[in-house]
A = this chain, B = another copy of it.
Amino acid sequence: MDFEHCFPIWNKLNPVQKNRLLGSLITCQVNKGTILHNGSSDCSGLFLIQSGQLRAYILSDEGREITVYRLFDRDMCLLSASCMIHSIQFEIIIEAEKDTRLWLIPTETYKSLMEESAAAANYTNELMASRFTDVMWLMEQIMWKSLDKRVAAFLLEESSIEKNSELKITHETIANHLGTHREVITRMLRYFQNEGMVRLSRGTVVLVDKKKLEALQMHKRA
């Protein structure tokens, strides 16, 4: 896989910029569970994912997590270089959710590109707008969707990512994605099981009636 084909504005750069970019590029292989970026103190650079999966989440003072967005093959991770843009004043953590292979564009390299190329700066705008949109979507979910719908939506999304109806996932992990407590998820999954939507066993959730889960997820709040 070539960087040139994965970096969307490659053709808008001049030869000097292309060389500078290729010259500073770092290829990394990280294991599942690696924390790639931890709040604003960290500012390694932009990640371009060759293959794998990253998760961005925030953490409460009490240690509760909530997943803000996920990134997949060919996605670019901007917020790992958040120090580049002064007005980004929030803390986000980025971890590898699967074994991941990625290119790292060092902050200084990208920053100099942005400063001299309107194309690079506008591309950065689009990247940030995509993540902003993810967060607005999430906020609407949190505000206006009850938790049963959010759990149903999460299980369906997870099953679609994994291309599998049998999910190897703990109740704790689901709670961390959705920003709630394990006990709450356990209670909800038992209710789903009683309704014939899932089958539970140790460390596994099997989606046995996706249609019913989809109907639940779509249903408007009373």
Contacts and interface: CB of A to CB of B under 8 A. Distances in A.
Interface in A110-161: 114-118, 120-122, 124-133, 135-140, 142-144
Nearest to A178: B143
A5 interface: no
Contacts of A114: 118, 121-122, 125
Given A115-B118, A118-B117, A121-B118, A132 B133 contact: no
A87 B133 contact: yes
A194 interface: no
Contact of A139 (B129, B133, B139): B139
A202 interface: no
B60 A144 contact: yes
A125 B128 contact: yes
**Copies of this chain:** 2
Contacts of A92: 136
B139 A88 contact: no
Interface stretch (A29-37, A61-69, A93-101): A61-69
Q: Which of A120, A131, A144 has the most CB of B within 10 A?
A: A144
Given A61-B144, A87-B126, 16 more contacts: A58-B139, A85-B129, A86-B126, A87-B130, A90-B132, A92-B136, A114-B121, A115-B118, A118-B120, A121-B121, A121-B122, A125-B128, A131-B132, A135-B136, A139-B139, A139-B142
11 contacts: A60-B140, A60-B144, A64-B144, A88-B133, A114-B125, A116-B118, A118-B118, A128-B128, A128-B129, A135-B136, A139-B139
Interface of A: 58, 60-62, 64, 66, 85-90, 92, 114-118, 120-122, 124-133, 135-140, 142-144, 179, 220-221
